[in-house]
Structure 1
Amino acid sequence: MVEADAVSVTGPRRIVCLTEEPTEVLYALGEQDRIVGISGFTVRPPAARKEKPKVSAFTSAKIGEILKLQPDFVIGFSDIQAEIAGELIRHGVEVWISNHRSVDGILDYIRRLGAMVGAADRVNAWADELQRGLQAIEAESAKLPRRPKVYFEEWDEPPITGIRWVAELVRIAGGDDIFPERAAESLAKARILEDPDEVVRRAPDIILGSWCGKKFRPEKVAARPGWDAIPAVRDGELHEIKSPLILQPGPAALTDGVREIAAIIRRWADKNQ
């Protein structure tokens, strides 16, 4: 938590957050009083769910409820929320849709959001701290005797591989994403595996699952035809990373998310020296 300074309020005063990451950032900066509405998927911080009205999902929003809140700024993420943004803009609402997809992009997003609410010094100090944390994890992972090959699955039907910031965090944590060429694709449809047997051929040592909005089922993954030949399946290395920890391009992924991946990789390395 970043302690707020006793300064006059600058920037937007009535903010609606259509995704979780701006909510987490603003709470961490002590600027939560600016938030008047949040995403229904918000779980971080827990206080937000208790204190703020839920006015959106990810691909839909209660436009009428948002307008009743009289926001002077709405924050969303990615092309998937373009229609929500467009409708709000047509009602005269100022909207910021960020489209960051990398670890550096997340850090820059955090800095920009903090600056918008007059907390540039605090947010820059915090972002520097987050960066040092990632550097420490990367330095520790460099000592591992072996780097595992990692398959990250964002969805199961159809299988969708991990987005860029996930692949980067896997690398920082000591592993190598087996679909780096797909991680570079910003749109989920470009990361759909047309041939799931490609996972078998690339033979990951670890499978990480984070099915957005539902529980990862390792037994279902292990039962896929031919997947019993994959080292990760053979050795029982199928692990869930809860989606709020890794699929939101915000502070959670750079802290609890990457630490959880690093712990899984470290345990694998200890068993496979």
Structure 2
Amino acid sequence: MKTFTDQIGNTHTFTETPKRIVSLVPSQTELLFDLGLEDKIVGITKFCVHPYHLKSTKKIIGGTKKVHIEKIRLLQPDIIIANKEENTLEIVESLKDIAPVWVSDIITIDNNIAMIEQLGQIFSVRTQARQWIDKINFGLADFKEYIKDKPEKRAAYFIWKNPYMVAGNDTFINELLKLNKITNIYEKNEGRYPEVIVQKMRIQGDPHIIFLSSEPYPFKDEDAFELGRHTHHAQTIFVDGEMFSWYGSRLVKAFPYFKQLRERMVDHDHDHDHGHHH
């Protein structure tokens, strides 16, 4: 008997190592694969696109917000892996009688490491979990060294249009922006993904950079142009949303991506609130 408390405080007891996993979270599906658990994954969502071949080898049980309960029941999972933000409380409640629903809640890199560690214990793949944690810690230390003398930037990180929505506080995206020495101009707004009035962007904090995430909304060039008009010459950059919002093993790839991203940023020498450039 092993007992685990998930990241929202629910306790789950397993008499043996779970062998049939349904994953309701794309980034956690990728992590389970990277932990060597491919053969134990029986069901995934239609958004679980990494690694790509799983879509054809595993049963698709719906999306992240809308799951097909009967399909999950027929798979006879002995654990269902969910996430507080990606999935709804209703989904978690509706699946509890099928199998234990282990829920992650990830805002910080530390939360992410704790999740990897616990999944390593639950599935008896501690060594693999440790290897991924070491890779993350190594990449993080290296990136912190790289970024430490780079200038601070102000940015807005857009995730949706009609209405315009941004990443706000208490989000993994915001934590990664901070790591990149980027101040989120919407960090003080109410809500984790606030709706914003883009006409007020200058007053709100006049960003140096507007990030347009590749997911969940497919932004176009005209969106970049439209948003840029509401700033003093902000640079608009289309970014890979997976690098900013996927936790799990994806972080290992995110650090080199962030370095490349920084190299694309133009220096704002005309900006006076950054002290002197040498």
TM-score, normalising length: structure 1? 0.82
CA distance in 2, matches of 1:250, 1:180: 24
Secondary structure of the structure 2 residue equivalent to 1:169: helix
Alignment of structure 1 residues 232-247 onto 2, 5 Å: 234=233, 237-247=235-245
CA distance in 2, matches of 1:238, 1:259: 20
Q: Which residue of 2 aligns with 1:228?
A: 229
TM-aligned CA distance change 1:266 to 1:177, over 3 Å? farther
1:267 has 2:264 as partner = yes
**Residue of 175, 182, 193 corresponding to 1:175:** 182
Q: CA deviation at 1:76?
A: 0.9
**Residue of 93, 96, 116 corresponding to 1:86:** 93
Contact 2:18 2:78 survives alignment (8 Å): yes
Q: CA deviation at 1:270?
A: 5.9
Q: Which residue of 1 aligns with 2:209?
A: 206
Q: Which residue of 1 aligns with 2:173?
A: 166
TM-aligned CA distance change 1:255 to 1:269, over 3 Å? farther
Secondary structure of the structure 1 residue equivalent to 2:29: helix
CA distance in 1, matches of 2:260, 2:201: 23
Q: Which residue of 2 aligns with 1:115?
A: 121
Alignment of structure 1 residues 63-74 onto 2, 5 Å: 63-74=69-80
Query: What do you get for the CA RMSD once the two structures are aligned?
Result: 2.3
CA deviation string 1:140-186 (max 9, x = no partner): 01132x2221211122222222252212212222322222334x95x
More helix by share: 1
Alignment of structure 1 residues 128-147 onto 2, 5 Å: 128-144=134-150, 146-147=151-152
**Residue of 19, 22, 42 corresponding to 1:16:** 22
CA distance in 1, matches of 2:54, 2:144: 31
> Letter of the aligned partner of 2:229 in structure 1?
D
TM-aligned CA distance change 1:57 to 1:81, over 3 Å? same
Q: Which residue of 2 aligns with 1:5?
A: none
1:46 has 2:52 as partner = yes
Q: CA deviation at 1:192?
A: 2.4
Contact 1:174 1:262 survives alignment (8 Å): no
CA distance in 2, matches of 1:26, 1:269: 38
Q: Which residue of 1 aligns with 2:219?
A: 216
> Letter of the aligned partner of 1:200 in structure 2?
R
CA distance in 1, matches of 2:256, 2:167: 17
Contact 1:173 1:259 survives alignment (8 Å): no
CA distance in 2, matches of 1:78, 1:257: 22
TM-score, normalising length: structure 2? 0.81
CA distance in 1, matches of 2:61, 2:155: 36
Q: CA deviation at 1:55?
A: 0.8
Q: CA deviation at 1:66?
A: 0.8
Contact 1:174 1:265 survives alignment (8 Å): no
Q: CA deviation at 1:260?
A: 2.9
Q: Which residue of 2 aligns with 1:30?
A: 36
CA distance in 2, matches of 1:229, 1:61: 39
Contact 1:106 1:250 survives alignment (8 Å): yes
Secondary structure of the structure 1 residue equivalent to 2:229: helix
Identity across matched positions, percent: 22
CA deviation string 1:104-158 (max 9, x = no partner): 21221121112210112321232122022022112101132x2221211122222
TM-aligned CA distance change 1:124 to 1:165, over 3 Å? same
Q: Which residue of 2 aligns with 1:59?
A: 65
Q: CA deviation at 1:198?
A: 3.8
CA distance in 1, matches of 2:201, 2:256: 25
**Residue of 153, 157, 166 corresponding to 1:152:** 157
CA distance in 2, matches of 1:100, 1:113: 14
